[in-house]
């Protein structure tokens, strides 16, 4: 398991019920299937197929339910994932086939802080996101549309930015119900989180919720993190080495 907190902020929203799905039957009644938490994409794809999740997810998409994948799970949403160099477990696996993309895993890891503007949201709010890349692999989009316009986050040096020279990220299906991205941490920012949730509310025939609700939660979380940081600062002596050892 890696980056297991990508969707945690959703659980604190008043209009969201977030639950883990242990079996394909647990997907019944969901508005969105959120895929994350993989560090072995090829093996996990095989497991999901054997467990019946692949067909269950395809069936939910056919019923106009949304599917979102981040990083390795974005790769799963495509036609195939190949690992010829053994970056993870090696081999090749058929993907869900919900996005017209293919992935080849690479041994070098891409890391970068980014700002992201959604390209296909049907609501207008301050919906930009901030997150980070940490992945191994190339995913050509074919004829799929990208999800985000990407730029380096403020405070990132030119040298860091050059390690991942892309201006767009992710892919969205023709019907807009399947989305994949390499950006972790998107839902931590209140504006993006609320814009995304309001899209789902509109599909359900519900009125949008004001962004202030999501902002209040984010502020509470920030205060808790600051309180914890102050506690550590008061009770731990932290020494940072200067320079490199010879």
Q: Dump pLDDT digits (tens) for 93-118.
A: 999 999 999 999 988 888 889 998 88
Helix axes 190-203, 211-235, angle to 10 degrees: 150
Query: Is 231 among the residues known to form the active site?
Result: no
Give a yes or no: residue 244 inside a domain: no
**Structural domain count of the chain:** 1
**Global pTM exceeds 0.85:** no
User: 122 pLDDT band (50/70/90 cuts)?
Assistant: low
Give a yes or no: residue 121 inside a domain: yes
Tokens representing 3 are: 């980056």
Mean pLDDT of 160-183: 80
pLDDT tens-digit readout, 41-91 = 999 999 999 999 999 999 999 999 999 999 999 999 999 999 998 888 888
CA 157 to CA 162: how far, in whole Å? 9
Place of tokens 């600062």: 233
- The mean predicted confidence, pLDDT, of the chain is 85
Q: Which of 71, 147, 149, 164 is catalytic?
A: 71
CA 196 to CA 118: how far, in whole Å? 10
Residue 188: which of 1, 14, 48, 5 has the closest Cα? 5
CATH number of the domain that residue 66 is part of: 3.40.50.880
Rounded alpha-carbon distances, angstroms, from residue 144 to 32, 54, 69, 93, 132: 20, 20, 15, 20, 22
Query: Is 235 among the residues known to form the active site?
Result: no
| pLDDT at site 201 | 93
Give a yes or no: residue 73 inside a domain: yes
Give a yes or no: residue 39 inside a domain: yes
Mean pLDDT of 9-34: 92
Give a yes or no: residue 243 inside a domain: no
Residue 30: CB partners within 8 Å, gap ≥ 6? 21, 60, 65
Tokens representing 26 are: 């647990």
Q: Which of 147, 149, 164, 184 is catalytic?
A: 184
Top mean pLDDT of 11-15, 84-88, 92-96, 187-191 is at: 92-96
**94: containing domain:** 8-235
């Amino acid at each position: 398991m890696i980056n297991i907190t990508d969707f945690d902020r959703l659980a604190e929203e008043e209009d969201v019920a977030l639950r883990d799905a242990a079996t394909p039957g647990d997907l019944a009644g969901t508005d969105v299937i959120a895929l994350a938490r993989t560090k072995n994409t090829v093996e996990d794809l095989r497991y999901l197929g054997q467990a019946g999740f692949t067909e269950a997810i395809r069936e939910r998409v056919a019923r106009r339910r949304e599917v979102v994948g981040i990083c390795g799970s974005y790769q799963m949403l495509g036609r195939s994932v190949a690992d010829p160099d053994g970056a993870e477990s090696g081999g090749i696996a058929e993907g869900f086939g919900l996005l017209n993309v293919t992935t080849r895993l690479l041994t070098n890891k891409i890391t970068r802080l980014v700002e992201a503007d959604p390209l296909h949201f049907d609501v207008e709010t301050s919906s930009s996101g901030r997150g980070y890349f940490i992945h191994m692999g190339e995913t050509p989009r074919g004829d799929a549309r990208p999800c985000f316009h990407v730029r380096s986050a403020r405070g990132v040096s030119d040298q860091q930015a050059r390690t991942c020279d892309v201006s767009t990220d992710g892919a969205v299906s023709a019907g807009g119900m399947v989305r994949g991205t390499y950006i972790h941490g998107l839902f931590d920012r209140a504006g993006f989180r609320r814009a995304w949730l309001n899209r789902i509310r509109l599909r359900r025939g519900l009125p949008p919720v004001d962004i202030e609700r999501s902002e209040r939660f984010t502020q509470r979380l920030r205060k808790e993190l600051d309180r914890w940081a102050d506690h550590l600062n008061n009770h731990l002596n932290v020494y940072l080495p200067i320079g490199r050892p010879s």
